[in-house]
C-alpha cells in the first residue's frame, strides 16, 4: 500500500461530493476516481475536482488502482457495494443507514465475517470536534456518572417528497444519527419508547417530528427530540447530565456577531443552515480516522455493528410510535 490512501468515491450526489472534496484536500489520501451510473454526475464532479470519473460503478468498486472506497450511493446499494469492495480487499467508508432492513444488515455482517473490521459506517457526528470533546470529557469522568442525555436535532426544512418516499421514514433517515449518538453517550440501549407527530400537512410521510426515550443498560436515559423543520436553522444540541455536572454542545453560527437595539439584546445570527455547514469539520475528522485505520490495518469504528444497532433502534422506535408499547431491545441482537 502506498503512503497515501487511494480512494474512489461511489455516488456523485450531495454527500458524495462532500466526501470527494474532503479526500482531495487530505494530506494522507488521494482521490483517484469518482463513479456514478447516472447521467454525467460523475463526469461533472470529476472535472470540478480534476480526477477521473466513470459510470461503471462495479468496476470502480474492485479497481486495482484504489485502496479504499467511500460508498455514497443510494441506500439500497450500500450493502452490495460494500460486499463487492470488501471482497476485492478494499477498506470501505459506508454512508448511513447501512440498509433499510435489519435482515439485510444481518446477512451483510454474516457475509463479511472478519472483514467487517474494514468497514466504517458514516456516523459523522461522532467526529464533530464539539461532540468528540464532550465524549472525551465524559469518558474522563468530568461530570461523574452519566444519568440523562438530551439530544435535540431539528432539520431546517423537510426534504423533497421524492426523497421522503425512499427515505425509510424519519426514524431510519433522520433519527438514526441521534440513535447512534445516544448509544455513543449512554452505551447499549435496552428499551425504546417513541411518539411520532405529523405537524406539516405538506409533508407526505407518517411523521415529521418525533420524541424518543431510550433506557440504557446501565440505567441512564436518553431523550431525543426531532423535527423536520426549524425556523431558526439547523438545531443541533446535546446535553449530557451527570451526577457531578453537565456538558453541552450548543448550536453554532457562521459569525460571532451580536446586536443590541430597541427590539432586543444579544441577537445572534441563525444557526448554521444544515449538515454540510454544521458538520464540515466532522467529515474531515471522520476521513482522518478512516484513512488512519485503513493505512494501519486497525479496525474501523463506528463499525457495521454500530450501524446495525442504530437501525435496530430505529425499527423499535417505529414500532413503539405505531403501537404505544415500550420495545425491549434484545441484547444478543445488537452485539
Do the beta carbons of residue 47 and residue 53 sit within 8 Å? Answer: yes
Q: Is 227 one of the binding residues for a second copy (CB under 8 A)?
A: yes
Q: Is residue 75 a contact residue for a second copy (CB under 8 A)? A: no
Smallest gap from Cβ 110 to a second copy, in A, equals: 32
Q: Which is nearer to a second copy, 120 or 224 (CB)?
A: 224
Cα 301 to chain centroid, rounded: 12
Piece in contact with a second copy (CB under 8 A), picked from 28-36, 171-179, 250-258, 305-313: 250-258
Per CB under 8 A, contacts with a second copy among 155-194 are 191, 193
**Rounded Cα gap, residues 172 and 106, in angstroms:** 16
Measured from the CB atom, is 22 or 75 closer to a second copy? 22
Size of the site for a second copy (CB under 8 A): 71
Q: Which of residues 202-221 bind a second copy (CB under 8 A)?
A: 209, 211, 213, 215, 219-221
Q: Are strands 52-54 and 235-242 parallel, antiparallel or unpaired?
A: unpaired
* Nearest CB to a second copy, comparing residues 63 and 130: 130
Q: How many CB atoms lie within 10 A of CB 26?
A: 18
Residue 241 found at the interface with a second copy (CB under 8 A): yes
Residue 6 or 90: the one with the smaller Cβ distance to a second copy is 6
Phi-psi region of 39 (alpha: psi -120 to 50; beta: other; left: phi over 0): left
> What would the grid cell of residue 276 be?
454540510
d(CA 47, CA 70): 18
Binding part of the chain for a second copy, among 70-78, 92-100, 119-127, 197-205 by CB under 8 A, reads 197-205
Which residue in 171, 207, 271, 279 binds a second copy (CB under 8 A)?
A: 271
| CB nearer a second copy, residue 6 or residue 81 | 6
Question: In terms of C-beta density within 10 A (0-12 exposed, 13-18 middle, 19 or more buried), how is residue 297 classed?
Answer: exposed
What is the rounded CA–CA span in Å between residue 63 and residue 34? 12
Strands 146-154 and 68-71: unpaired
- Decide: 241 and 150 in contact? Cβ < 8 Å: yes
Nearer to a second copy, 44 or 229 (CB): 229
Which of 102, 111, 157, 325 contacts a second copy by CB under 8 A?
A: 325
245 binds a second copy per the rule CB under 8 A = yes
Contact status, residue 321 vs residue 196, Cβ threshold 8 Å: yes
Calculate the CA dihedral of residues 30, 32, 37, 39 and round it to 10 degrees.
100
The yes or no reply on residue 148 touching a second copy (CB under 8 A) is yes
- In angstroms, the CA 275 to CA 283 distance is 10
Question: Which residue, 169 or 196, is less far from a second copy as judged by CB?
Answer: 196
Cα distance between residue 249 and residue 66, in whole Å: 37
Closest CB 284 distance from a second copy, rounded Å: 13
Name the one range near a second copy by CB under 8 A: 6-14, 31-39, 74-82, 245-253.
245-253
Out of 152, 203, 285, 309, the residue judged to bind a second copy by CB under 8 A: 152
CB nearer a second copy, residue 104 or residue 191: 191
Q: Does residue 326 touch a second copy according to CB under 8 A?
A: yes
Q: Does 139 bind a second copy (CB under 8 A)?
A: no
Among 103, 110, 140, 262, binds a second copy (CB under 8 A): 262
The secondary structure of 311-323 as a DSSP string is HHHHHHHHHHHHH
The Cα 75–Cα 166 span in angstroms is 9
Q: Please report whether residue 266 would count as binding a second copy according to CB under 8 A.
A: yes
Element (H, E) at 119: strand 119-121
Amino acid at each position: 500500500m502506498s503512503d497515501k490512501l487511494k480512494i474512489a468515491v461511489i455516488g456523485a450526489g450531495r454527500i458524495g461530493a462532500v466526501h470527494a472534496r474532503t479526500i482531495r484536500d487530505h494530506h494522507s489520501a488521494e482521490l483517484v476516481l469518482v463513479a456514478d451510473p447516472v447521467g454525467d454526475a460523475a463526469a461533472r464532479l470529476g472535472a470540478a475536482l480534476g480526477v477521473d470519473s466513470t459510470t461503471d460503478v462495479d468496476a470502480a468498486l474492485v479497481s486495482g488502482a484504489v485502496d479504499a472506497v467511500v460508498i455514497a450511493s443510494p441506500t439500497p446499494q450500500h450493502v452490495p457495494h460494500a460486499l463487492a469492495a470488501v471482497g476485492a480487499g478494499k477498506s470501505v467508508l459506508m454512508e448511513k443507514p447501512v440498509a433499510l432492513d435489519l435482515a439485510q444488515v444481518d446477512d451483510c455482517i454474516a457475509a463479511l465475517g472478519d472483514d467487517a473490521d474494514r468497514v466504517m459506517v458514516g456516523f459523522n457526528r461522532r467526529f464533530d470536534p464539539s461532540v468528540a470533546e464532550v465524549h472525551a470529557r465524559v469518558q474522563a469522568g468530568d461530570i461523574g456518572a452519566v444519568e440523562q442525555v438530551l439530544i435535540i436535532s431539528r432539520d431546517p426544512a423537510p426534504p423533497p417528497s421524492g426523497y421522503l418516499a425512499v427515505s425509510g421514514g424519519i426514524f431510519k433517515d433522520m433519527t438514526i444519527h441521534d440513535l447512534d449518538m445516544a448509544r455513543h453517550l449512554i452505551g447499549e440501549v435496552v428499551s425504546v419508547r417513541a411518539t411520532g407527530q405529523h405537524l406539516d400537512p405538506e409533508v407526505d410521510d407518517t411523521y415529521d417530528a418525533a420524541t424518543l426515550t431510550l433506557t440504557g443498560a446501565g440505567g441512564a436515559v436518553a431523550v431525543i427530540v426531532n423535527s423536520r423543520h426549524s425556523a431558526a436553522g439547523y438545531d443541533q444540541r446535546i446535553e449530557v447530565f451527570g451526577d457531578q455536572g453537565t456538558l453541552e454542545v450548543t448550536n453554532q453560527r457562521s459569525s460571532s456577531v451580536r446586536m443590541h437595539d430597541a427590539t432586543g439584546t444579544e441577537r445572534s445570527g441563525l444557526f448554521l443552515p444544515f449538515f454540510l455547514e454544521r458538520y464540515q469539520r466532522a467529515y474531515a475528522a471522520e476521513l482522518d480516522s478512516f484513512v488512519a485505520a485503513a493505512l494501519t490495518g486497525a479496525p474501523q469504528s463506528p463499525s457495521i455493528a454500530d450501524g446495525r444497532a442504530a437501525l435496530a433502534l430505529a425499527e423499535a422506535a417505529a414500532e413503539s410510535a405505531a403501537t404505544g408499547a415500550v420495545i425491549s431491545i434484545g441484547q444478543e441482537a445488537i452485539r
